[in-house]
Amino acid sequence: MAEGLQVDLAARAPVPLRAGLHVPPGQTLALVGPSGAGKSSLLKAIAGLLPASGQVRVDGVAWQDGATGLPAWQRRVGLVLQGGGLFPHLDALGNVMIAQEQPDGDVARALLAAVQLEGAVLQRRPAQLSGGEQMRVALARALSREPAVLLLDEPFAAVDRPVRRALIALVARLRQASAAPMIIVTHDLEEAAGIADLAAFMDAGAIVESGPAAEILSTPASRLNRWLASA
């Protein structure tokens, strides 16, 4: 039986980190908290991009055990960074194909079509794409790795609200076709409510509150909602 993503990690830098979470298969966790809380560091540690100790297990398979683990390139992670993180010298199609284990133009085009990008736009480089188009390419690239886990680090922060709503709806549709557990870092309550099954509030490197997103987001006394009100 699929177990999803189980994490219990610690790191000393760039911020002290000691955090654990569980995301079942096919579910999305919204990770929320103040700047500097360690949200991005936690995603990078899961992806193997940040040295850490502890446990990362995906469907019962250990990616990390103690201080040793699989290198980042062996972890089947679909990672979308704030701003997209596209290669500026490659066009949209090339940015997707470069992430494939076996480059396949037809598969890459199908993934781009799934995020509503087709035609001449596929030959444009990132500087020629709108912010929304860049994020669509980044999503297609993440999916091209056939990921066991999807990690999105504030992917929509740089786009305006109408585009953000469209991208949230797109991600929600893509989730229906994937059983990969997903974590999305966000400061946007609407974004969290529109995508997430679960929500977790992170502060000073630790998960201090977690549970069903609908329950936490509807409880005025939750730490997440108190922080949102103060922010």
**pLDDT tens digits, one per residue of 44-98:** 999 999 999 999 999 989 999 987 889 998 999 989 887 778 999 999 999 999 9
How far is the C-alpha of 62 from the C-alpha of 68, rounded, in Å?
A: 10
CATH classification of 1-76+182-231, choosing from 3.40.50.10140, 3.40.50.150, 3.40.50.300, 3.40.470.10?
3.40.50.300
What pLDDT, on a 0 to 100 scale, did the predictor assign at position 115? 87
Q: Where are the domains of the chain?
A: 1-76+182-231
**Quick one: which of 146, 151, 120 has its CA closest to 133?**
120
Contacts of 166 (CB under 8 A, 6+ apart): 132
How far is the C-alpha of 167 from the C-alpha of 156, rounded, in Å?
A: 8
How far is the C-alpha of 28 from the C-alpha of 195, rounded, in Å?
A: 7
* CA 146 to mean position of chain CA atoms: 14
Other C-beta atoms lying within 10 Å of the C-beta of residue 61: 11
Which residues share a beta bridge with 200? 31, 210
How far is the C-alpha of 156 from the C-alpha of 131, rounded, in Å?
A: 9
What pLDDT, on a 0 to 100 scale, did the predictor assign at position 2? 65
Strands 17-23 and 182-185: unpaired
Per-residue confidence band for 1, with pLDDT thresholds at 50, 70 and 90: very low
**pLDDT tens digits, one per residue of 2-60:** 689 999 999 988 888 999 999 999 899 999 988 889 999 999 999 999 999 999 999 98
**pLDDT tens digits, one per residue of 96-147:** 999 888 899 999 999 999 888 999 999 999 999 988 899 889 989 988 888 9
| Report field, pTM of the whole predicted structure over 0.75 | yes
Contact 64, 52 (CB under 8 A): yes
